[in-house]
Structures are given as structure tokens and as C-alpha cells.
Chains A and B, each alone.
Chain A
């Protein structure tokens, strides 16, 4: 088991190394000079040069890459060009918004999707199944930015139950923060929950076709108990894969949603970073996001082992 984890870790590090090169090259290709952007239109060339030196934009690409990577390994992500604060600090602060949002959306979608999928499977071909399938189809088809807009119009502008966006900060109280994240999390979770519910349904149906379900029934388990005691855990395995894959979609979706709800999260930071040519922030955030996805998939692999004893001894 130890050597298995070690080999997985080596693979993980290799992926990260390749990813860092890819990211660096992409960022290098982005046109536009951060210093020029920061100083505006009628800045003198020598002012721009002075700022370039101050920002550490000199040196060959290889040098800069090595500087970036060695810095990252030591936990130093550089200083944001625009904000003039350490990127690590900036990212940590944004993470305090994005991470709870992602977790909330993930929890929300999972908690809704799994029972709903199970229910639909158990009502296969009947009205309950049909309506769940119809609603989830719709849930997948609705663009989440459009859905977010509708949510805002209804719950913030008309009903005034929630604020239209923004984030009070954790020192304003956990409840206030969770409240601020509810609408964005719902907007993010809707398509995810729809996809997940469908995956869950078909996974359960697949499992229900298995011989051991018939065995369970022959043992005298009721239909319902067969579903919860036998089908659920087995169906979880394909569902886990999808949850892992969705994490990356969740991050992408969060970028737009964070903009709609003007949440100070990582997505908005990276979006802003690109338009303001704060490339050092973009680099680090993209790296972080890639790392997060790789890490989540790594954890999904381990979760497999827990859900499926067949994978434990590898």
C-alpha cells in the first residue's frame, strides 16, 4: 500500500511539473506588459522601465520559470503586480471564499442528487422517474449564469431574502457568510446535481441488474432495503468518478458565478488578473486550481478503495 501511494505521489508530482511548464508557456504567450498597464497611457518609457525592474520582469524566460518554480516550492508565490501584496496572501484570502463555495455546491449537489437518483431508479419508468428525469434534463440545459441571474431577480431584487451578491468576510460571522454563499452555491449546484442525479440513477439501475441484488431479494430484503443496503454503496463507485471529474467543472463554473455575485473568490481573481495583466497571480492561481483538481482525483482514487474492497489490495 505504501509503495502504491508513493508511486501515485510520483505520478502526481510529474503531472504538476508538466502542468507548471504548460502554464508558464501559456502565460508567456499572453501579450501585454503589466508595467505599462499599471502606469496608464501617458507614462514615460523610463517610468515603465523602472517599474518593470521593480516587478522583477527581467531575465530570460528560463530564469523566470526557475525563479517561479523554486519560489513556489518554498511557498513564495511572488508579489502581485497590481495589489503589491504577496500572491500567497491574496490567494489564501480568496480561498476562504472559493473553497467554502465549492464545498457548499458540492455538498448541496451531492445531498440532493444521490437520494433523488436513488428515488428515480426505484420508480423506474413511473411518474416519479419521469419527472425527475425531466427536471434534471432541464437542470443540465440551463446555463448557470442565466439561472444565477434569475435567482438574483427573484430572491434578491423581488423578495429581498438575500443580498444580490458580495461577501461580508468571515469576521462578520459564519451565518452571514453562509447566507451570502447560498444563492451562488445553488446556481453552481443545479447543473451538477442534475448530472449527478442522472449518473446516480443509471448507476443504481445498473446495480439493480446485478445478480447480488436478486440474492438480497431472495434473502428476504424488501425492495427498499435492497436499494439502501446493497444498491446504494455499489452505485457510489461510478458516482465518485463523476464527482471527481465535476470538481474541475465546478471551478470553471465558479469563475462566472463569482462574477455574477461579485464574490471575492479565486475565479474572479484569475479573471481580473488576466485583464489587468497581473500574470504572476494568474500563473499561481491556475497552478493552484490544477493542483486542486489533481489532488481531488487522487482523493477520489482513495475513496474508491474505501467504497470498493476489490481495489484495496493493489
Chain B
């Protein structure tokens, strides 16, 4: 057997006195896809950066790495520059920012060729056109002179891949290449990556937090936790016969479904939306009418009291705009919204008690709180909506109770938000939403930014609260798995309209609309029989 394509032996990475990667060893065969899985902070990205010598300043690595038997760590910076891009290509998570905004895509792909192959710019651009064509961006459709901002996220990720494979490297490292993308786009990129490996001799190191992504693509997997590889093996074997408890919990969490909440027998309609149209006129220019962009075109839906309804769709489909309109933050251009019989109108005219009937939890646990205020003040903010605002002591008690309800301690009220982890922050966000006992909580991608294990806990919490307080949820998400786990009914939204709705299980199991079918098909799945 020939030497492995990439062999990492006893690699450690230290930043200051923290060990972020701890003596890991792995090897990737030629022409294989190797999956490196783990939650955030597990050290998987650091491993990749250490391998190509791009660790952040202050990070120190030890151990050894060999590419096709050649030592990498012994090379000096200049020699390493000759390896990067030529023998090892790398792509990153965030296609929106990973490309230089001021240079055309053709030039950026060609640059790899210019610096390594010493090609002339024009010759390099010809090759670049070929590579872009290979990743699905034919020059007649997407010109070489286009700039990154003119492309969609998926297209940008394809440009990234094109420049990484421009010189047909021996190894391609992909660090969360699809995490920022919609599911259908993700499927396309994963297909492309798989195809690139299949058609040549290239190996792929695929780093992801999503085990489901690896299930269909990689030949072997290593699972990382706290800087160590806790388990490694052939993909199917690992899924079927994982030996480490962490792998087990990870798998369990990614498929977690909280206990179902019994629906009330007879529920009154809580939220009713009729033929809602949203959008805004852009700013007019001289001699030109302001353009109208319509984000929501004629949506009707209803949510009953105590019901949990999912709203799925890809980015830009209008689901967040819809959520803002329900909250009375966005004036409708047509149609109506009523909440518990009262019309929702945007602006200050909206009666406080109507506002008080609904609250929202956002996706980003970091941006949801004013970092200058203590938790008590943050959670108490909605009291502003009550006509008879509670006294300080009452408010303080209510905040304490809300914190307890979400699994935190009333003592946490005096702390500031930066003292909490992401999962805890999301609990505080829920406590804030809960504190004035609304009837409806809108959860806007509320668990999307969380690691699977934390996500499972929050889903449990949401289910428990619903049972306890009889809340209704409008659960907005792009993740079908989560929607399936927590909603009874689902609405599928595309281009500002709802294309399909119905019971969650039914819709996801046998979609009626082709778009729903596409979504379901594109969602990476771990084969049932592997985890059964």
C-alpha cells in the first residue's frame, strides 16, 4: 500500500497556555474523502490550518504532517507558499467574505495559476475559464469579469472551489464549505465536491459540524472533541457501531425530537393573516421611479392558540420580513394581520396589549442583547408594554421566575450578557420573550446557530414551556429536521409566497409541491438503517 496522501502524526496546537489541538493523528488515502466532525471549538479548523501552516499569530504547532510522504512542517515559509494552492487547496465556510471584493472572479482564479505555474495573465484566464466551467460557472453565463458581489452565495463557493482546484492539487481541504448555504445549494456543492474527488486522484478533507453531510460523502470520519480525536473509522462502521459515548450523544442530539406536546382539544385562532403583501419602494433617482421590491406577495395563514407552526424556506424567501410584519415592525402594503382579534398595525399606533401578546427570539445569541445592561434589565424590557407596569420588586420576581423557567438561576439576573455561553444566552432570550406571558412566540431561526447538543436542550426547553404555558410558536427555520422535531404544522415558503402547507409529518414525508420535494431531497440525511 502506498503512503497516505496526508498523514498527521501527534499534531498539537497551543495558543498561549491553551491546548486547542491535542496530539491528534490521522491519515487520508489518495482519492478519498475524509470527514472531520465536531462541534464548535473542538479544534477541527485549527487542525486544517496547522496542516497548511496558516495558524493565527501566536499559535504554536508540534508534531508532524506529511503530504505524499513529504514533510510539511519542516518547510520554510517560502517553500510552504509553493505547497499551498499548488499541492493543497483550501476552501472556507463563508463564501460571502472569502473572495476579494475588488477583483474579478476570473482574476482571482487565474491568480493561483499565475503565482504557481508562472502563467501569463491571459493564459491563466483561459485556464481559469475552464476551471470555472468545471465547477458549474460557464463563462458564457457567468463572465470572468464579474465581481463577487454580483454572484449568489453558492456561485461564490463555486468560485472558491475553482481557484482551489485550479492546479489540481493532491489534497483539498474544505472547512465547513456548505454551512452558510441553503440546503438546495448545499446539495449542489456537495455533489460538486464528490464529483471532483471521484473523477481524479484528489483527496478531500471535509470539515463539518453536520454528521449528516458526511454520511453521504466521506469514506472515513474522525470525530473531534476538545482538541482530541475521540473516535475514527470508516463512515458506515462509525455510524453503525460507534464506540465512544460522545459520538453516540452527537448522533442522538442531531436527531433529537422532544416529547410531543398535546394540543388543546378546541383551540381558538390566535394569529390570522389574510393576503398579506410586504415590500418597499427603493429610493427613486432623478428621472426614474422608485423600484418596488416585494418580499411577501399575498400570504395567508393562521396559527391557533397553543399551536406550533413551522415556516420553512431558503434565505431571501421572505420569511423574516413576514415575521417582522407580524410583530408590527413592517407596514403591510396590502392584506391584514389580526392577533387575537386585534388588527396589527405598524408603528406607534399599535396598542401595547396587542404587542404584549407576542414576542420573538432571534437566531444570533450574541446580537440579541444590549451588552451594557444587566440580565435583569434585559429580561424586564417587555414590561414596558404593560399598562400597569410592575413595581421594581414585582418585576424582579417575575424576571427571577422567567429565568428559572428557562433553566437558569434567579441570581443570574445581576450578571451581564457576556458572562453567558451561546446556549445560555438563547435561554435568556426565551426568558425575555416569556416574561410578560405572551400568547405567541416567534422563533426566528432560534436554534440555527447552536451546536447540536445545545440545540437538543433548547428544543426540549421550548417543548416544555409550551406545555407549561400553553404558548403558540411560529417556528421559522431553514432546517427541516428541526421543524420536524418541534412543529405540528408546516408552511413552505418560496419567493414570498406559501407554496405548501399541512401537517409537518405528512408534508415532509410526501411533499405535494415540487419545491418542497426538492428541499426534502436536498436535506442531508443519515440513512435510517445506520442509526436504527
Q: Is chain B in direct contact with chain A in the complex (CB below 8 A)?
A: yes
Query: What is the CB-to-nearest-CB distance from B70 to chain A, in angstroms, rounded to a whole number?
Result: 16
Say yes or no: is B373 at the interface (Cβ < 8 Å to chain A): no
The stretch from A103-111, A213-221, A250-258 touching chain B is A213-221
B111 pairs with A219, CB closer than 8 A: yes
Say yes or no: is B115 at the interface (Cβ < 8 Å to chain A): yes
State in angstroms the CA–CA spacing of A4 and B285 once bound together.
7
B101 pairs with A308, CB closer than 8 A: yes
Say yes or no: is B160 at the interface (Cβ < 8 Å to chain A): yes
B101 pairs with A220, CB closer than 8 A: no
Bits for B87-106, please: 1 = Cβ < 8 Å to A, else 0.
Answer: 00110101001111111100
A3-B285, A3-B286 given; A220·B116 CB < 8 A: yes
A212 pairs with B89, CB closer than 8 A: no
B86 pairs with A220, CB closer than 8 A: yes
A210 pairs with B52, CB closer than 8 A: no
Residues of B within 8 A of A210 (CB): 97
B98 pairs with A217, CB closer than 8 A: no
Say yes or no: is A31 at the interface (Cβ < 8 Å to chain B): no
Query: What is the CB-to-nearest-CB distance from A99 to chain B, in angstroms, rounded to a whole number?
Result: 30
A3-B285, A3-B286, A310-B147 given; A215·B102 CB < 8 A: no
B111 pairs with A221, CB closer than 8 A: yes
The stretch from A52-60, A179-187, A222-230, A265-273 touching chain B is A222-230
A221 pairs with B81, CB closer than 8 A: yes
Say yes or no: is B245 at the interface (Cβ < 8 Å to chain A): no
Chain B residue with Cβ nearest A5: B286
Say yes or no: is A159 at the interface (Cβ < 8 Å to chain B): no
Contact of B149 among A221, A225, A234, A310 (CB under 8 A): A310
Residues of A within 8 A of B288 (CB): 3
A217 pairs with B84, CB closer than 8 A: yes
A222 pairs with B102, CB closer than 8 A: no
Query: What is the CB-to-nearest-CB distance from B282 to chain A, in angstroms, rounded to a whole number?
Result: 11
State in angstroms the CA–CA spacing of A10 and B285 once bound together.
11
Chain A residue with Cβ nearest B78: A222
B83 pairs with A220, CB closer than 8 A: yes
B100 pairs with A234, CB closer than 8 A: yes
Chain B residue with Cβ nearest A237: B102
State in angstroms the CA–CA spacing of A220 and B164 once bound together.
10
State in angstroms the CA–CA spacing of A225 and B112 once bound together.
12
From residue 1 to 57 of chain A, which have CB atoms closer than 8 A to chain B?
3-4, 6-7, 10
A7 pairs with B285, CB closer than 8 A: yes
Say yes or no: is B85 at the interface (Cβ < 8 Å to chain A): yes
Query: What is the CB-to-nearest-CB distance from A2 to chain B, in angstroms, rounded to a whole number?
Result: 9
Bits for B260-287, please: 1 = Cβ < 8 Å to A, else 0.
Answer: 0000000000000000000000000111
State in angstroms the CA–CA spacing of A216 and B91 once bound together.
11
State in angstroms the CA–CA spacing of A218 and B92 once bound together.
10
State in angstroms the CA–CA spacing of A286 and B318 once bound together.
51
Contact of A220 among B97, B100, B115, B149 (CB under 8 A): B115
A310 pairs with B101, CB closer than 8 A: yes
B101 pairs with A212, CB closer than 8 A: yes
Query: What is the CB-to-nearest-CB distance from B92 to chain A, in angstroms, rounded to a whole number?
Result: 6
Residues of A within 8 A of B81 (CB): 220-222
Say yes or no: is A123 at the interface (Cβ < 8 Å to chain B): no
Query: What is the CB-to-nearest-CB distance from B115 to chain A, in angstroms, rounded to a whole number?
Result: 6
B92 pairs with A307, CB closer than 8 A: no
Contact of B92 among A215, A223, A233 (CB under 8 A): A215
Say yes or no: is B54 at the interface (Cβ < 8 Å to chain A): yes
Query: What is the CB-to-nearest-CB distance from B24 to chain A, in angstroms, rounded to a whole number?
Result: 21
Chain A residue with Cβ nearest B87: A220
State in angstroms the CA–CA spacing of A225 and B77 once bound together.
13
Interface size of A by CB at 8 A reads 27
State in angstroms the CA–CA spacing of A74 and B148 once bound together.
47
B78 pairs with A214, CB closer than 8 A: no
A10-B286, A211-B94, A307-B102 given; A220·B85 CB < 8 A: yes
Contact of B147 among A3, A307, A309 (CB under 8 A): A309
A218 pairs with B97, CB closer than 8 A: no
Say yes or no: is B371 at the interface (Cβ < 8 Å to chain A): no
State in angstroms the CA–CA spacing of A103 and B115 once bound together.
37
Residues of A within 8 A of B164 (CB): 218-219
Chain B residue with Cβ nearest A229: B111
Bits for B140-158, please: 1 = Cβ < 8 Å to A, else 0.
Answer: 0000000101000000000
Chain A residue with Cβ nearest B48: A218
Query: What is the CB-to-nearest-CB distance from A162 to chain B, in angstroms, rounded to a whole number?
Result: 41
State in angstroms the CA–CA spacing of A20 and B81 once bound together.
59
B85 pairs with A214, CB closer than 8 A: no
From residue 185 to 211 of chain A, which have CB atoms closer than 8 A to chain B?
210-211
Residues of B within 8 A of A216 (CB): 100, 111
Residues of A within 8 A of B101 (CB): 212, 234, 308-310
Chain A residue with Cβ nearest B98: A211
Say yes or no: is B195 at the interface (Cβ < 8 Å to chain A): no
A218 pairs with B286, CB closer than 8 A: no
Residues of B within 8 A of A223 (CB): 77
Contact of B97 among A7, A211, A230, A308 (CB under 8 A): A211
State in angstroms the CA–CA spacing of A309 and B101 once bound together.
7
Chain A residue with Cβ nearest B92: A211
A212 pairs with B82, CB closer than 8 A: no
Residues of B within 8 A of A214 (CB): 54, 92, 98
Residues of A within 8 A of B285 (CB): 3-4, 7
B84 pairs with A220, CB closer than 8 A: yes
Query: What is the CB-to-nearest-CB distance from B82 to chain A, in angstroms, rounded to a whole number?
Result: 7
State in angstroms the CA–CA spacing of A145 and B96 once bound together.
48
State in angstroms the CA–CA spacing of A223 and B285 once bound together.
43
Query: What is the CB-to-nearest-CB distance from A272 to chain B, in angstroms, rounded to a whole number?
Result: 42
A234 pairs with B54, CB closer than 8 A: no
**8 residue pairs bridging A and B, Cβ less than 8 Å apart:** A3-B285, A211-B92, A211-B98, A218-B52, A218-B54, A219-B89, A220-B82, A222-B81
Given contacts A214-B92, A310-B147, A310-B149, 8 further A-B contacts (CB under 8 A): A7-B286, A211-B92, A211-B94, A214-B54, A215-B163, A218-B85, A218-B90, A219-B85
Interface, chain B (partner A; CB < 8 A): 52, 54, 77-78, 81-86, 89-90, 92, 94, 97-104, 111-112, 115-116, 147, 149, 160, 163-164, 285-288
List the 8 closest pairs (A to B, CB-CB), nearest first.
Answer: A220-B85, A219-B85, A220-B84, A218-B90, A7-B286, A211-B97, A211-B98, A309-B147
